[in-house]
Amino acid sequence: MVNTQFIVSPSKKLQGQLRVPGDKSISHRAIMLGALAEGTTHISGFLEGEDTLATLAAFKSMCVLIEGPEQGRVTVHGVGLHGLQAPYKPLYLGNSGTSMRLLAGLMAGQKFSVEMTGDESLSRRPMRRVTEPLATMGALIYTTASGTPPLKIQGSQQLHPIHYPMPIASAQVKSCLLLAGLYAQGTTCIIEPAPTRDHTERMLRSLGYPVQQEGNRVCVTGGGHLTATDIDVPADISSAAFFMVGASIATGSDITLQHVGINPTRTGVLEILKAMGADITLHHEREVGGEPVADIQVRHAPLHGIQIPEYLVPLAIDEFPVLFIAAACAEGETVLTGAAELRVKESDRIQVMADGLQTVGIQAHPTPDGMIIRGGKIHGGQVNSHGDHRIAMAFTIASLCASEPIIIDDCANVATSFPNFVELATRAGITMTVEK
């Protein structure tokens, strides 16, 4: 495979107004639930990244008519909860753990059998966290001996409801089981140990499917139906987070990120940055299609290290690579605990980020469930992203505090979540080139 490198020169500041691509989590769910709805769903703001396009292709291969995407617009002609058809080959889901875990729940309720595969990275990711509770619902679902993909699901199983206390807070597990619950006879309830993103629940309601919620318990009853609607996908706060951190750490920066989703189950990055001293202002707060959005203005401010509250960890789980860069540029020590989940993402994000930070001159000590980072001067160096899109983008942002160029290896997967990252980063003020 060709090594795509980012070569990033020390940059001065970020300025201007940007709209980052659509929210990846919501884009996945819009395709899935639009396909299962009765009627035609019109989606705008859809993220045209490799992960979400893998979800779209999977439903096309199950005989759902989908038009687009074209400039973020997609039209999905729903087939109803029981209208999917058997694909003629395995569903290939690329790098997308969200696609595989959520589809595992949906596929468990179908009349046909299916196999789901992924790329080398996805093929190493743990799936027992979804396959084991699905098996208790009556699904026949198989992994490799180590609990990794490919997943093989045998159709025509009658699912029964479960009450499932999740051992680890995970929106993907919760969503998987709620989607399986649509096909179960009775009421399925999931109990969360900590709040996680609730896009599935919000979108189910917007498509007319009742969701019961009380405290940390969320329930669905099988046998209902979804009614098509229009879905406006907000800009992805996980993508916006790179520019939030960049503006915070670079003297003279003032940037506004437009139409960003500020779902309260996703705003941990805002809370953590504010606790570190960031200057963040929300403008034009509003609600679009059941999801709160705002324009987020970030100005440079000196950051200081903090002990990151564990209750915020699930609300910022995807943003920690770039939050580690914020910690590296902050005065004092930042301590993260309770984030063992980071070790089973697209890479072991704790170890890979620690290795990269040490390479560029920062004291970073990985722990089993987090990291201890002492802020300091970032030098140049060559770091390996290990094919992890968020790590590649995080070290791009580190250039704003660097004294020498940073070379980042293995960056092709940035296209999975942020296909125009290089263009927007350059427009905002980062000096970088791409070499293959």
In this prediction, residue 344 carries a pLDDT of 84
Q: Which is nearest to 167 in space by CA: 140, 202, 128?
A: 128
Which residues 6+ apart lie within 8 Å of 36 measured at CB?
A: 78, 79, 80, 81, 83, 84, 106, 182, 226
In this prediction, residue 169 carries a pLDDT of 87
**Mean pLDDT score across all residues of the chain:** 96
Domain with residue 344: its CATH number is 3.65.10.10
Q: How far is CA 167 from CA 104, 190, 191, 192, 408, in A?
A: 19, 11, 9, 8, 36
Cα–Cα dist 173/379, whole Å? 40
* Residue 155, Cβ density class (10 Å: 0-12 exposed, 13-18 middle, ≥19 buried): middle
Q: Which is nearest to 240 in space by CA: 256, 251, 253, 254?
A: 256
| Residue-wise burial string across 160-199, b where 16 or more C-beta atoms lie within 10 A, e elsewhere | ebbebebeebbbbbbbbbbbbbbbbeeebbbebebbbbbb
- Domain final residue pick, 194, 213, 232: 232
Q: Which is nearest to 347 in space by CA: 124, 94, 25?
A: 124
Together in a domain, 284 and 429: yes
Question: φ, ψ for residue 289 (rounded to 5)?
Answer: 55, 40
Together in a domain, 83 and 126: yes
Domain range spanning residue 370? 5-22+234-435
318 catalytically annotated: yes
Together in a domain, 117 and 219: yes
| E strand or H helix that includes residue 323 | helix 320-329
In this prediction, residue 1 carries a pLDDT of 57
pLDDT confidence band for 267 (50 / 70 / 90): very high
Together in a domain, 180 and 249: no
Together in a domain, 281 and 320: yes
Q: Which is nearest to 91 in space by CA: 66, 63, 111, 121?
A: 63
Domains held by the chain: number: 2
Together in a domain, 250 and 214: no
Instruction: Choose, from 51, 198, 318, 388, the residue flagged as catalytic.
Output: 318
Together in a domain, 226 and 118: yes
pTM (two decimals):
0.88
Which of 162-171, 384-393, 395-404, 412-421 has the weakest average pLDDT? 412-421
Q: What is the mean pLDDT of residues 174-187?
A: 98
Together in a domain, 42 and 136: yes
Paired tokens of 313? 């960890």
Q: What percent of the chain has pLDDT over 70?
A: 100
In this prediction, residue 162 carries a pLDDT of 97
Q: What is the pLDDT of residues 181-224, one digit of tens each?
A: 999 999 999 999 988 999 999 999 999 999 999 999 999 999 99
Segments in 14-112 forming alpha helices (H): 24-36, 50-60, 97-108
Paired tokens of 124? 């190493």
Whether the Cβ atoms of residue 5 and residue 407 lie closer than 8 Å to each other: yes
Which residues 6+ apart lie within 8 Å of 420 measured at CB?
A: 21
Strand partners, 165: 191
Q: What is the pLDDT of residues 337-375, one digit of tens each?
A: 999 999 988 889 999 999 999 999 999 999 999 999 999
Together in a domain, 226 and 238: no
Together in a domain, 188 and 245: no
- 411 pLDDT more than 90: yes
Whether the Cβ atoms of residue 305 and residue 285 lie closer than 8 Å to each other: no
- Domain final residue pick, 232, 253, 280: 232
Together in a domain, 70 and 174: yes
Length of the chain as a residue count: 436
Together in a domain, 429 and 284: yes
* Residue 359, Cβ density class (10 Å: 0-12 exposed, 13-18 middle, ≥19 buried): middle
- 75 pLDDT more than 70: yes
- Domain final residue pick, 203, 232, 261: 232
Q: How far is CA 428 from CA 8, 103, 134, 191, 315, in A?
A: 14, 37, 45, 42, 26
